[in-house]
Amino acid sequence: MVYLTSTQSRHPLHPWPLTHVGHGSCCMHLLNHLTNTASLCFISPHTTTGANAVMAALLAILMHLLVPALLLMRVVAVVAAGAPPFSCGGGPSLGLPFCNTKLPAAQRAADLVSRMTPAEKASQLGDVANGVPRLGVPSYKWWNEALHGVAISGKGIHMDRGAVRSATSFPQVLLTAASFNDNLWFRIGQATGKEARAFYNIGQAEGLTMWSPNVNIFRDPRWGRGQETPGEDPAVASRYAAAFVRGLQGSSSNTKSVPPVLLTSACCKHATAYDLEDWKGVTRYSFRATVTVQDLADTFNPPFRSCVVDGKASCVMCAYTSVNGVPSCANADLLTKTFRGSWGLDGYVAADCDAVSIMRNSQFYRPTAEDTVATTLKAGLDIDCGPYVQQHAMAAIQKGKLTQQDVDKAVKNLFTTRMRLGHFDGDPKAHVYGNLGAAHICTQEHKNLALEAALDGIVLLKNSAGVLPLKRGSVASAAVIGHNANDVLALLGNYWGPPCAPTTPLQGIQGYVKNVRFLAGCHKAACNVAATPQAAALASTSDSVILFMGLSQEQESEGKDRTTLLLPGNQQSLITAVANAAKRPVILVLLTGGPVDITFAQANPKIGAILWAGYPGQAGGLAIAKVLFGEKNPSGRLPVTWYPEEFTKVPMTDMRMRSAGSYPGRSYRFYKGKTIYKFGYGLSYSKFSHRVVTARNNPAHNTTLLLAAGHAATTEDNLSYHVDHIGDELCRQLKFLAVVKVQNHGPMDGKHTALMFLRWPNATDGRPARQLVGFQSQHIKAGEKAHLRFEVSPCEDFSRVRDDGRKVIDKGSHFLKVGKHELEISFGA
């Protein structure tokens, strides 16, 4: 800012020192100081007379316009030179309270906001936030993605320029979820967070707010974005949410709390009950979901609660969905009462991209743009992905629909998050994450982790007569057939960054077999044209045949749902023809996000083995080969139910989880119908047995503890206990340890994943058929045993949600079950 004023040492509204010079030297003086100190020039009327005064005034106006731009250019130049933008390293902000690192982040943010003009505040309310040069605040880009590695989908990460052009690409989330390993999820989050910070430090990122993870429930198998999620089970999604967020934000371990300075900021999306893109003309922008209080409480909301309460996420993103008549981003009960009040969100609430404008222009929730913006900010929204709120906030204030206090609250939440990221602590290279740079991206450790994740996630669905594993060196020739066999994009799913060391399945097989012949068979996943005769001929002359079939982002992606669960086009006929022509049973590897109905392959004895490999990330080809050739004993388990094609008769718009009449329900917890494969299904090359026992804190002792709670915890019918009345302390005391004895009967060493479920004596009154309590995995040598320990919390694991949304624990018998073995536990008097 340049001021035309009388001689003074400091402008009352401007903290920078002003230098008194004549107008002739002002520009040169200013440019010198832009690269050195924070001094500004001003033109004194005492140095100008007559026409010179007019020139001085014009020059002052010109400089008034130029200085902010020049300051911004300075920041851009710094970024281009490979240094991250920051504030409080000198210049106009030095010495101000918001630069005082000894003060709490919220207090520092409040001080900064108090110094900003209304227009400057409004400019912060979109994902591309303007800088405030007079306060030394650089511009910022909030939208960045890190779903399964640093991605290029947002606006702030730049891999198209600079020294580093790729990032570690981990498997798409659904495959990673199949590992049922929250320590793995944490380490992937941690590696992704380190690479994101490294990109920032080398000037290839303009933001550290990562709008990941996606923890929506994979409710319907046709959903195009189900691949991004941890699956259909709220307990798995909750564990994933907490683990990934801890890693992404920089916790030192999966049990540690958030660090004082965030590595990056995680944002859990999309709250709530969002799982439809575009189905038969119903789009996510206009869909009005009807969701019961019961389903919200026990299915859709728990992962978001875990994000905030357990993972300490610094952001939650609200969805496009209108739930029970109220758009999620205008729902004060959700954004303020729940996120901040009940769960204690310490951070900000973001709207999905253009959600606010869609609320006005597609959902017609409020009559004007100003009304819409006012409604969302008053409800608890802090930032809009898009410019709509920025464009209309000032008008909303001027028309009395919005107060400056409403805007201040949002902007404080935003700057508090940036304070926690260290953006106002001076040069970030001099602080806790300053050592991270180009050498920390695509490290060997991260590449190994990507391989480990793919190996642990791959699910063996069929293995007739021990077709697998193949023996290395004994396969004279192999035919590799399928459109997914040699396509790098088939490894990545969506929301990806360019992978640093991709290996396609074809390349993976070529590392194990010398004589490999390849034929795509289909031009792409749609497979409208198939080279079936050529594929059959190739199969008939090969020792082994491996087909890599499945889906692509053309069938399932953001904005696109499926209408069928069958393999697209001519894929099924191609697979069948190849199997019939082959010398011995063929191997089918499916690269898909969502489930597919492969009944034909299940029942065909000429298809000897089936693997599901999801979208396995940059190391996917090598991982698949290692599993096929027995270097890895498969241990993945399906995180979703695989439904038959007839399920597509169920409208995607029916949000009910529980079955009713002819409606079959959804997910393993409530679905009553035929399945292709059940949730948790997965074979191994070895045979394992289980037995459930209890250890310390015998649950029979809970009767005494519950009596201490008195009758206040007992429900009206005297058949259950209210969890909220039992209280946190007693809930902690009720926890006990359950031990699962596992034996590997061979013939191979391998990791085994044990899933523990709870079963009620009956599934009436909305009770699930079964409910996941927990999961543990351990590598066990052939012939050896292991004890897997599960901490069981009755308040969490034995409880169910009534139709009024309240959690209760039924008195009487409960059954802990692993595999075919179960143990009865009585709860209460």
Q: What mean pLDDT, rounded, does the chain reach?
A: 89
Q: 499 with 168: CB under 8 angstroms? A: yes
Q: What is the pLDDT of residue 715?
A: 75
Q: What is the pLDDT of residue 90?
A: 82
CA nearest neighbour of 818 among 638, 701, 689? 689
Instruction: Give the side-chain half-sphere CA count within 13 A for 397.
Output: 16
> Is residue 14 predicted with pLDDT exceeding 50?
no
Read off φ and ψ for residue 214, nearest 5 degrees: -95, 110
Alpha helices, DSSP H, located in 205-249: 234-249
Q: 742 with 689: CB under 8 angstroms? A: yes
For residue 507, give every residue at least 6 positions away whose Cβ sits within 8 Å of its Cβ, in sequence order, or none: 486, 621, 622
* Distance of alpha carbon 5 from the chain centroid: 53
pLDDT in tens, 195-237: 999 999 999 999 999 999 999 999 999 999 999 999 999 999 9
What integer is the mean pLDDT of 659-684?
A: 97
pLDDT in tens, 252-308: 998 888 899 999 999 999 999 999 999 999 999 999 999 999 999 999 999 999 999
Q: How confident is the model at residue 712 (pLDDT cuts 50, 70, 90)?
A: low
Q: What is the pLDDT of residue 695?
A: 65
Q: How confident is the model at residue 40 (pLDDT cuts 50, 70, 90)?
A: very low
> Is residue 18 predicted with pLDDT exceeding 70?
no
Burial class (CB in 10 A: 0-12, 13-18, 19+), 165: middle
CATH code, 688-827: 2.60.40.10
Mean pLDDT is lowest, of 6-15, 392-401, 548-557, for 6-15
The answer to whether domain 116-440 has CATH 3.20.20.300 is yes
CA dihedral for 391, 397, 403, 405, sign (positive or negative): positive
H helix or E strand, kind and range, residue 183: helix 182-201
Q: What is the pLDDT of residue 36?
A: 33
What integer is the mean pLDDT of 93-116?
A: 96
**DSSP string spanning 697-723?**
S-GGGHHHHHHHHGGGGB-TTSSEEEH
Sheet holding 688-694, edge to edge: 688-694, 736-744, 785-792
CA dihedral for 437, 438, 440, 446, sign (positive or negative): positive
Mean pLDDT is lowest, of 78-87, 238-247, 399-408, for 78-87
pLDDT in tens, 752-788: 999 999 999 988 889 999 999 999 999 999 999 999 9
Domain boundaries defined on the chain? 1-81, 116-440, 458-670, 688-827
H helix or E strand, kind and range, residue 298: none
Cα of first residue to Cα of last residue in the chain, in angstroms, is 74
Options 3.40.50.11260, 3.30.9.10, 2.20.25.90, 3.40.50.1700; CATH of 458-670: 3.40.50.1700
* Distance of alpha carbon 450 from the chain centroid: 17
Calpha distance 555→450 (Å, rounded):
25
- 364 φ/ψ sector (left φ>0, alpha ψ -120 to 50, else beta): left
Total-model pTM: 0.90
Amino acid at 780: I
For residue 697, give every residue at least 6 positions away whose Cβ sits within 8 Å of its Cβ, in sequence order, or none: 735, 736, 737
Mean pLDDT is lowest, of 22-36, 461-475, 688-702, for 22-36
- 446 φ/ψ sector (left φ>0, alpha ψ -120 to 50, else beta): alpha
**Residues taking part in catalysis:** 352
What integer is the mean pLDDT of 498-513?
A: 97
pLDDT in tens, 570-581: 999 999 999 999
Local structure of 75: helix, strand or coil:
helix
